Chains A and B, each alone.
Chain A
Amino acid sequence: MPPREGVYGLLAEFNTPSELVHATEMAHRAGYRRMECYTPYPVEQAAEALRFHKTRVPLLCLLGGLCGLTTGALLEIWVNVWGYPLNIRAMPLFFFFFDFVCWPLGGVWHDCAEWIAAAVSSAVQCAKLCEWSNDG
């Protein structure tokens, strides 16, 4: 990639979060959009100033959970009622009430898997970002 000419971006360092937030807010009002703040701890106001506060991760998580829940429930129902209808303690075939404990757990487990996936994708994203910014 050939080196680009001209001003690519601006970098500023602030001593306090208040200054950072204020500056970001001002920059946003001034019409700047491709901005990013770097802080050693989460500063929510900075995100507000950047107008960045929505992610789709919770939705993904919910879908993953529901998916796990459904899979678990269907598996158990299939195993107990259709696949292998065994006489266990003379119980009704669909009698696994206590198992409902497992279903949310299955969902949670699925969520964890989602989360690992999300973490990896975020890492990849970060790496891309790094690459991109290294260009400059």
Chain B
Amino acid sequence: MNETRMEIEQAMAGEKQAQVVTAIAPAKMTLAEVRAKLDGKSGKRYWKSLDELADTPAFQELMQEEFPRQASAGEWVDSVSRRGFLKVMGASFALAGLAGCTKQPDEQIFPYVKQPEDLVLGKPMFFATAHPFPTGAIPVLVKSDAFRPIKLEGNPEHPIVKGKSDGFTQASLLDLYDPDRSQFPRFRGEQAGFNEFQEQFAKAVAGTKTGEGVVFLSETVTSPTLAGQWKAVQAKYPQAKLVQYEPVNQDAGRAASKAAFGDYYDTQYKLEDADVILALDADFLGGIGFPGFLPMSAAWAERHRFDKDKPMNRLYVVETAPTVTGFKAEHRLALKPSEIDQFANALTGGNSTLSNPEAQKFLAAVTADIKKSGGRFAVIVGPGSSQAAHAAALTVNGSQGAVGKTVFYTETVVPMPSEHVSDLKALVADMNAGKVQWLVMLGVNPLYNAPVDLAFEVAFNKVPNSVHLGSHVDETGFYSTWHINKAHYLESWSDARAYDGTISIVQPMIEPLYAGKSAHDVLQTLLDPSVSAYDVVLANAKTYLTGGGAAATSAAAPAAGAAKGATSVSPDQASKAALGLAAANTPFELAWRKALHDGWVANTAFTPKTLGAPKGGTTTPATAGTGIEISFKPDSSVYDGRYANNGWLQELPRQVTSMSWDNAALMNMDLMGKLGIEENEAIELTLNGRKIITPVLMSPGHPNDVVTVQLGSGRRAEAGRVAAGVGFNAYSLRTTDGPLSASGLTIARGHGTYDLCVTKVHNIEHRGAYAQRDLEHPLSDKDGTYSLAGHEAMERSIIRYATYEEAMKNPDFAHTGTKDSNGTLVNKVGYNPQGEAVPHEESFWPDNWRYDHIEEVSAGKVLQNKWGMSIDLNSCVGCNACVVSCYAENNIAVVGREQVKIGRIMQWMRIDTYFEGDLHAPSAHFQPMLCQHCESAGCEQVCPVGATVHTPEGINTMVYNRCVGTRYCSNNCPYKVRRFNFLLYSDYDTESLKFMRNPDVSVRSRGVMEKCSYCIQRIEAVKIEADKNNRAIEDGEILTACQQACPTDAIVFGNLNDPKSRVVQRKAEERDYQVLADLNYRPRTTYTAGVINPNAELA
């Protein structure tokens, strides 16, 4: 196999070697030859050649060898085999016609699984790499089809990630194929070469001798190698500077850490051992914007599972804008930012009493609970928490004994921690003073997102040479002297640390589509431009890999040079090593290869540091402001704006608000009522004389007298076709003084209306106190302070839950109901109490189609498969990772704002959010909703052409080819999970998007209904594999895309006929229930009712 591999490698490297390849393996045709035959032909001639090619004996021999089952004689007439052939041919087109842009990188990378190492067309390969993110890298496993990355999953063997992932990571795949990416370097807007830049830049910097006036403004440096390179640059040019700036940063935490311990430290939480958790404006269940999201949400969910023998944890959240964390909490306290500071101060034992009695009560309860826990608690703070909150967390975690049990301090995940805003402030002062000659911006976009009071654009104009490395010619790139197109992380070599400090090598999956460069290349310009990023990473790896020695401890560049030298001395050996063909000669090579294969390096995790008691005690919090405050939050979908041009994320309904394609000023009903504002009205926010106009969205549970705005929208036209013109730019109110919140906001009406795009209960759920009339129960709720949809969700038993005590008393509460304090049954539905499934004997034809067929396979007789799913509502945190994963897996189309607004979003899966109770302080429930694969599926009965039918294994399938589009099935689906291509939504034209598509899933055209298929392509792939190996499918072998992504393991899929499978065990729980069960559709997807663990004192 290795030989074959080499052939392909070489063939990929150059045309000429294709001949050599045939010489080595004359018996069969190689793919390279296939490519050579087809090369340079297009249109009719291409197809003609293809036909000729298919007829040649050599090709058929190749087919025989690679696909004996499909190609065996006589089977060509069979339609299935023909389809298989077409599939094979389709994959080879990708290679044949497009080799120019999709090919494996020249350097050796190692497939995740051992066999087959070779490329087998139509068979995906998996490679490990990592998604670098400012809060810690997410190690991923990339599914690569014919060297095109088509899906990202969490690395299953990584100690932190454990195969889970998140929305940003999933969606970063689309960023790779974004057709709006910058495709070439530019000099003053004109196309230029990277080498020209290198010459010019290196010469200029060399001219300064000391590097004076050269400043690198970088996004957070996540790569230890890059940090090493910077050290080398600094050694060479001591006056050069590096400033890191992220608009969403951890400044407050850094400052608090410095004040308390004298240095920057990261906090790691081990929530497995925490009985009580208090999150102070820390959205740790919301996504990777919070460091350690994956392990923390997994640990929280594990401890939040209902188990009679295990105590359940309890989560308190004090926050401003409602987040998923807040709504998953047992108790949520909504406070203004200034009140949170006061709360934090009071928490540390400061003698100030809180003016807000509700907060006082909350504080007392939390304090008591923390004391009771005996150190088994954690006060969580994060990037969104203020410095006062951070200081309080350090103090309380220390004084109450959480440190060492659930809270650990380690060195920072990022190699060069800093306080971003103050650094940027100093840099802008330098720029204004004319001290900066070269401003090299690595992946940042300060003209868009720098604090507005710095007037960065003014300072920017005073810099003679500006360089911008970015994936897009964005707001900054457009005005910079030099723009260099940045390589995506899936195209480049680097490394990064995960939350626990484990190092992962970032290895490229694909040759850069547009020959993009990375920050490594830019820094290397000042060192040795001939050394590639790969060499640098390899050299730096010697500092942490076994067998690396101490060669490159101080500076990466010499080491890189050494590596380079080594290759030039002994090219034979080097190429062998690089290709990984020869047995690994040295321990380092072994370790390197293992690191690439595994996707992480063992024993590189941080060890906790023992620090003394935090110094400084409490900071004096600002007195609670009387005016209206404003709170700035990164957007849950586009983060700080970096994902603004990502259609999947823009269209993804934001957590909690379900707002798609927009951002808005979030406020509560009282403030809206006070100001007379109605929903969807455009208002003017004024802060310190700066104004923006924004639409208003009522946010249930938002505290009064504060407005929350999400960062990351309002990008200008340069940002790309998707991002341009979406929402408003909240950065234009954000200053260095108040990066998290500020007071003194004024609001003015009279700017017309702006129709927001909200997916959930379109324009129904959201309203101000004025817009209630026809939406509400006019008889019982004249003020409109509760949500009709949420109320109905309870009435209809769509959401069922109980408290821990109730569940202990009556474990069958999901079916028999819970009694309220008056003894009356709550959660009951109409005539069929509890919305229970129709008893078997009352059903018309319950056993007509059975799924207990005994199948005869070569291994013996086995019970057939019967697929089903279970979703644990206790664990689902509504983070949307599953939804984005489904986008990538199933080639789901992005439809755009206008279509989403009228209800035509195409997501096969969605997170339903229901608000329960008074909308001033509601509780919310998240429910992932996808095709329920009903056994008695109403959709099937009403389809006049039989386009949706049941498979023998009980999956409700959709036959796209047969669908004529009557949409009757959608009408008859009570779960409304079917999606219709009202227009031609799929993009058939953009070349780069074609590479991204999953070849196992059809791209649906206009006029066709589509829906969740339980990832049938994954089921079939595993079935084929099991068949080939003559064995049964093991439980857990098939993971649906949503299940695989879910960070909290809320979704379990499996064989209902396998009594040992997890899904059967989940469904056997008493809390398992069907949504809308009384309709007798018999859904295969069921839900596990939630259990919460509230504190009786706060009830």
Chains A and B directly touch (beta carbon < 8 Å): yes
A residues in contact (CB < 8 Å) with B = 84, 86-92, 95
Nearest chain-A residue to B843 (Cβ)? A90
A87-B849, A91-B941 are known contacts; what are 9 more A-B pairs with Cβ within 8 Å? A87-B950, A87-B951, A88-B940, A89-B936, A90-B845, A90-B935, A90-B937, A90-B950, A92-B845
Residue pairs across A and B with Cβ atoms less than 8 A apart, 24 shown, are A86-B946, A86-B949, A86-B950, A87-B940, A87-B950, A87-B951, A87-B952, A88-B940, A88-B946, A89-B936, A89-B937, A89-B938, A89-B940, A89-B941, A89-B950, A90-B848, A90-B849, A90-B935, A90-B936, A90-B1082, A91-B848, A92-B845, A92-B848, A95-B845
**A88 to B952 CA separation, bound complex (whole angstroms):** 11
- B848→A88 contact, CB < 8 A: no
Nearest chain-A residue to B1082 (Cβ)? A90
Interface size on B, residues (CB 8 A): 15
**A87 to B939 CA separation, bound complex (whole angstroms):** 12
Distance of B1084 from chain A, by nearest CB (Å): 11
User: Which 7 pairs show the lowest CB-CB distances between chains A and B?
Assistant: A87-B950, A89-B941, A89-B940, A90-B849, A88-B940, A90-B936, A86-B949
Distance of B559 from chain A, by nearest CB (Å): 65
Residues in chain B near residue A84, CB distance under 8 A: 946
Q: Which residues of chain B (935-989) have a CB below 8 Å from chain A?
A: 935-938, 940-941, 946, 949-952
Residues in chain A near residue B940, CB distance under 8 A: 87-89
Name, among B849, B941, B946, the residue most crowded by chain A CB atoms within 10 Å (CB to CB): B849
Nearest chain-A residue to B949 (Cβ)? A86
- B949→A87 contact, CB < 8 A: yes
Name, among A84, A90, A92, the residue most crowded by chain B CB atoms within 10 Å (CB to CB): A90
Q: Which residues of chain B (830-870) have a CB below 8 Å from chain A?
A: 845, 848-849
- B949→A88 contact, CB < 8 A: yes
**A86 to B949 CA separation, bound complex (whole angstroms):** 7
Q: Provide the main secondary structure of the chain B interface.
A: loop
Q: CB-defined interface of B796-826 with A at 8 Å, one 1/0 digit per residue?
A: 0000000000000000000000000000000
Distance of A101 from chain B, by nearest CB (Å): 14
Name, among A86, A89, A92, A95, the residue most crowded by chain B CB atoms within 10 Å (CB to CB): A89
**A95 to B848 CA separation, bound complex (whole angstroms):** 11
**A60 to B950 CA separation, bound complex (whole angstroms):** 43
Nearest chain-A residue to B937 (Cβ)? A89
- A88→B845 contact, CB < 8 A: no
Residues in chain A near residue B938, CB distance under 8 A: 89
**A95 to B849 CA separation, bound complex (whole angstroms):** 13
Q: Which residues of chain B (885-941) have a CB below 8 Å from chain A?
A: 935-938, 940-941
**A84 to B935 CA separation, bound complex (whole angstroms):** 19
Distance of A123 from chain B, by nearest CB (Å): 37
**A92 to B845 CA separation, bound complex (whole angstroms):** 7
**A90 to B935 CA separation, bound complex (whole angstroms):** 6
Distance of A15 from chain B, by nearest CB (Å): 60
**A89 to B949 CA separation, bound complex (whole angstroms):** 8
Residues in chain B near residue A87, CB distance under 8 A: 849, 940, 949-952
Contact for A88 among B950, B951, B1082, CB less than 8 A = B950
Distance of A116 from chain B, by nearest CB (Å): 27
Residues in chain A near residue B951, CB distance under 8 A: 87
Nearest chain-A residue to B936 (Cβ)? A90
- A91→B946 contact, CB < 8 A: no
Residues in chain A near residue B949, CB distance under 8 A: 86-88
Residues in chain B near residue A91, CB distance under 8 A: 845, 848, 941
Q: Which residues of chain B (706-749) have a CB below 8 Å from chain A?
A: none
Q: Which residues of chain B (1016-1059) have a CB below 8 Å from chain A?
A: none
Nearest chain-A residue to B948 (Cβ)? A88
Residues in chain A near residue B946, CB distance under 8 A: 84, 86, 88
**A84 to B938 CA separation, bound complex (whole angstroms):** 19
Q: CB-defined interface of B518-537 with A at 8 Å, one 1/0 digit per residue?
A: 00000000000000000000
Nearest chain-A residue to B942 (Cβ)? A89
Distance of A110 from chain B, by nearest CB (Å): 21
Residues in chain A near residue B1082, CB distance under 8 A: 90
**A133 to B950 CA separation, bound complex (whole angstroms):** 67
**A104 to B935 CA separation, bound complex (whole angstroms):** 32
**A89 to B933 CA separation, bound complex (whole angstroms):** 10
Nearest chain-A residue to B943 (Cβ)? A88
**A89 to B936 CA separation, bound complex (whole angstroms):** 4
Distance of B848 from chain A, by nearest CB (Å): 5
Residues in chain B near residue A90, CB distance under 8 A: 845, 848-849, 935-937, 950, 1082
Residues in chain B near residue A89, CB distance under 8 A: 936-938, 940-941, 950
Residues in chain B near residue A88, CB distance under 8 A: 940-941, 946, 949-950
**A86 to B950 CA separation, bound complex (whole angstroms):** 7
Residues in chain A near residue B936, CB distance under 8 A: 89-90
Nearest chain-B residue to A93 (Cβ)? B848
Distance of B898 from chain A, by nearest CB (Å): 35
**A111 to B937 CA separation, bound complex (whole angstroms):** 36
Distance of A31 from chain B, by nearest CB (Å): 64
**A103 to B817 CA separation, bound complex (whole angstroms):** 48
**A26 to B255 CA separation, bound complex (whole angstroms):** 126
**A110 to B1062 CA separation, bound complex (whole angstroms):** 57
Residues in chain B near residue A86, CB distance under 8 A: 946, 949-950
Residues in chain A near residue B845, CB distance under 8 A: 90-92, 95
**A76 to B845 CA separation, bound complex (whole angstroms):** 20
Nearest chain-A residue to B952 (Cβ)? A87
Distance of A70 from chain B, by nearest CB (Å): 23
**A84 to B951 CA separation, bound complex (whole angstroms):** 13
**A121 to B951 CA separation, bound complex (whole angstroms):** 51
**A86 to B1082 CA separation, bound complex (whole angstroms):** 18
Nearest chain-A residue to B950 (Cβ)? A87
Distance of B378 from chain A, by nearest CB (Å): 49
Residues in chain A near residue B941, CB distance under 8 A: 88-89, 91
Distance of A78 from chain B, by nearest CB (Å): 15
Name, among A84, A91, A92, the residue most crowded by chain B CB atoms within 10 Å (CB to CB): A91
**A88 to B938 CA separation, bound complex (whole angstroms):** 9
Distance of A103 from chain B, by nearest CB (Å): 17
Nearest chain-A residue to B972 (Cβ)? A89
Distance of A61 from chain B, by nearest CB (Å): 29
**A92 to B950 CA separation, bound complex (whole angstroms):** 13
**A89 to B935 CA separation, bound complex (whole angstroms):** 7
**A86 to B848 CA separation, bound complex (whole angstroms):** 12
**A88 to B845 CA separation, bound complex (whole angstroms):** 12
Q: Which residues of chain B (1063-1099) have a CB below 8 Å from chain A?
A: 1082
Residues in chain A near residue B950, CB distance under 8 A: 86-90
Distance of B1096 from chain A, by nearest CB (Å): 47
**A87 to B951 CA separation, bound complex (whole angstroms):** 7
Distance of A28 from chain B, by nearest CB (Å): 58
**A91 to B946 CA separation, bound complex (whole angstroms):** 13
**A91 to B939 CA separation, bound complex (whole angstroms):** 13
Residues in chain B near residue A95, CB distance under 8 A: 845
**A88 to B946 CA separation, bound complex (whole angstroms):** 8
**A90 to B940 CA separation, bound complex (whole angstroms):** 9
Nearest chain-B residue to A86 (Cβ)? B949
Distance of A96 from chain B, by nearest CB (Å): 10
Distance of B500 from chain A, by nearest CB (Å): 49
**A92 to B952 CA separation, bound complex (whole angstroms):** 14
**A89 to B1079 CA separation, bound complex (whole angstroms):** 13
**A86 to B936 CA separation, bound complex (whole angstroms):** 13
**A87 to B935 CA separation, bound complex (whole angstroms):** 10
Nearest chain-B residue to A84 (Cβ)? B946
Distance of B878 from chain A, by nearest CB (Å): 32
Distance of A55 from chain B, by nearest CB (Å): 39
Distance of B329 from chain A, by nearest CB (Å): 41
Distance of B979 from chain A, by nearest CB (Å): 20
Distance of A26 from chain B, by nearest CB (Å): 63
Residues in chain A near residue B935, CB distance under 8 A: 90
Nearest chain-A residue to B946 (Cβ)? A86
Residues in chain A near residue B937, CB distance under 8 A: 89-90
Distance of B867 from chain A, by nearest CB (Å): 14
Distance of B1089 from chain A, by nearest CB (Å): 26
**A87 to B1082 CA separation, bound complex (whole angstroms):** 14
Nearest chain-B residue to A95 (Cβ)? B845
**A92 to B949 CA separation, bound complex (whole angstroms):** 14
